[in-house]
Structure 1
Amino acid sequence: MKVAMVICQDTPEVIWNAFRLGNMMLEGMDDVSIFLNGPSVRYEESDSQQFPLKELARIFTLSEGQLFA
């Protein structure tokens, strides 16, 4: 299945859940793309111990997920 997600918020929990879902779908051999729009482009600024956004994004791209901004 091909899935595209669009994230338009800068809320760390929303971005974190999108990357988690994308990574789970990639494990199931789906094609996943995430498009960061507006304030979500600055997701790295919201990286924290509670919401490790940089690490999830790294795993997503290394697992052949497509990340657009």
Structure 2
Amino acid sequence: MQILITLTSTDPEVKWNAVRYGNFLLNAGEDVTLFLNGPAVDLAAGDSNRFPIAEQAKVFSLSEGVLVA
């Protein structure tokens, strides 16, 4: 199944959870595209030890997830 996740939030927790959800779907064998819209285009903004967005985004990209901005 092809799945599109649209992300428009600047909240680090929301961004982290969206990418984690994308990784979960990729591990389940789905085709996932993460569309970054508006302020969410700066995906790594808010990256921290609590919300490791950059680490999750790297896993997403290496798992053949598609990032579109």
The TM-score bracket by the shorter chain reads over 0.9
Aligned length: 69
Give unpaired runs (5+ residues) of structure 2. Answer: none
Match of 2:41 in 1: 41
Hey, what's the Cα distance between the residues in 2 that align with 1:25 and 1:13?
A: 18
Does residue 56 (structure 1) correspond to residue 56 (structure 2)? The answer is: yes
Amino acid at match of 1:46: G
Deviation per residue, 1:33-57 (Å, 9 max, x gap): 0000111111212100000000000
Shift of 1:7: 0.4
Deviation per residue, 1:6-58 (Å, 9 max, x gap): 10110011111110110000001100000001111112121000000000000
Identical pairs, percent: 46
Amino acid at match of 1:13: E
Runs of 4+ in 1 over 2 A off after TM superposition: none
- Structure (1 or 2) with the greater helix fraction: 1
Match of 2:19 in 1: 19
- So what's the TM-score if we normalise by structure 1? 0.96
